[in-house]
């Protein structure tokens, strides 16, 4: 099947950052999916940028006001690690709106993919690690406020711990944050999520997939989530510049297929976000494409 895709023209806005930060990733990914026939033109959705009211459901209201007024201070800019300005702000608001929309579409159709998002380091009142706002945390709170879901599972398989998501959502009953990450990677100080699996550096396909197979079926059965947000970051790849794990292309493909298939079998709708991936643009985009090929291999949801 071809899932509903979420893309906003502001995802194309160039944002300056360190050399390994791939500003054009969302745009390149959409082009690549179109080239490969993985986009159903009738099911490409444009989100509304997130409002201040939505953001304040997950972030401190003075932080939201400060950022929306363009007044992020020096410490905040350093934690962010990207050049803060109108382009980044517009892109971030579109990405948060995109993850909210992906969640809503997933509830209607079973599977929906935002071609941005995964800002999992942004905390309650501060940016961090290229993340200005925490789109998944905002989306969880918006969908719950709209009465659309109560039990939500966050499956964060980006190689870095979803520390901001855990910090924001830790106290929400009915929300479960799973993070599988590299123990010796950023962030130095890990937050406490609902379930954190910290893998040693150089963990390979076999170890990674076995861990996932051990954890995920039981969680889905026990929690019976009404929706899962899947951070499908491709930075666990062995050639990722910031990764430190050792997954192959086949390992990433098997991981994505496993998550989608286990959720589909349990009848759990899934909204995906891109998460991290660092390296040469073509290689990174090819790794992100694996998720959409895994989706295409499903006959239905």
Residue 160 or 255: which CB sits closer to Zn ion?
160
120 is catalytic: no
Cα–Cα–Cα angle for 211, 217, 223, rounded to 5 degrees:
120
Q: How far is the CB of 146 from Zn ion (least distance, A)?
A: 29
The three-class DSSP label of residue 198 is: strand
DSSP β-ladder status, 111-114 and 152-156: unpaired
User: Measured at CB, which residue is nearest to Zn ion?
Assistant: 276
Q: In what order do the strands lie in the sheet with 270-273?
A: 44-45, 4-6, 111-114, 270-273, 227-231, 152-156, 175-182, 195-199
Place of tokens 């909210």: 100
CA distance 239 to 222: 35
Separation in Å, CA 157 to CA 77, 142, 232: 26, 22, 6
Contact 289, 247 (CB under 8 A): no
Residue 64 or 80: which CB sits closer to Zn ion?
80
Interface ranges with Zn ion (CB under 5 A): 158, 160, 233, 235, 276
Q: How far is the CB of 21 from Zn ion (least distance, A)?
A: 11
Contact 205, 251 (CB under 8 A): yes
Annotated active-site residue in 8, 59, 121, 181: 121
Residue 12 or 241: which CB sits closer to Zn ion?
241
Residue 13 or 232: which CB sits closer to Zn ion?
232
Catalytic residues: 121
């Amino acid at each position: 099947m071809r899932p509903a895709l979420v893309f906003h023209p502001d995802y194309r806005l160039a944002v300056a950052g360190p050399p390994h930060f791939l500003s054009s990733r969302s745009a390149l990914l959409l082009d690549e999916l179109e080239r490969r026939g993985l986009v159903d033109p009738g099911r490409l959705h444009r989100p509304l940028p997130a409002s201040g009211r939505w953001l304040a459901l997950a972030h401190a209201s003075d932080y939201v006001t400060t950022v929306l007024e363009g007044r992020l201070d020096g410490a905040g800019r350093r934690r962010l690690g990207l050049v803060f300005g109108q382009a980044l702000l517009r892109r971030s608001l579109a990405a948060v709106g995109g993850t909210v929309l992906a969640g809503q579409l997933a509830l209607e159709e079973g599977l929906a993919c935002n071609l941005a998002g995964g800002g999992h380091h942004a905390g309650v009142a501060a940016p961090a690690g290229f993340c200005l706002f925490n789109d998944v945390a905002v989306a969880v709170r918006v969908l719950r406020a709209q009465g659309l879901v109560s039990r939500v599972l966050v499956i964060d398989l980006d190689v870095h711990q979803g520390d901001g998501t855990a910090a924001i959502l830790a106290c929400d009953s009915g929300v479960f944050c799973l993070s599988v990450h590299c123990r010796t990677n950023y962030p130095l100080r890990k937050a406490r999520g609902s379930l954190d699996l910290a893998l040693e550096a150089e963990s390979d396909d076999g170890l990674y997939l076995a861990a996932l197979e051990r954890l995920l079926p039981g969680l889905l059965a026990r929690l019976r989530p009404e929706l899962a947000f899947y951070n499908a970051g491709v930075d666990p790849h062995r050639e990722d510049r910031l990764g430190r794990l050792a997954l192959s292309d086949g390992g990433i493909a098997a991981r994505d297929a496993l998550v989608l298939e286990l959720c589909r079998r349990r009848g759990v709708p899934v909204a995906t976000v891109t998460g991290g991936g660092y390296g040469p643009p073509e290689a990174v985009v090819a790794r992100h494409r694996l998720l959409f090929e895994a989706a295409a291999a499903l006959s239905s949801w």
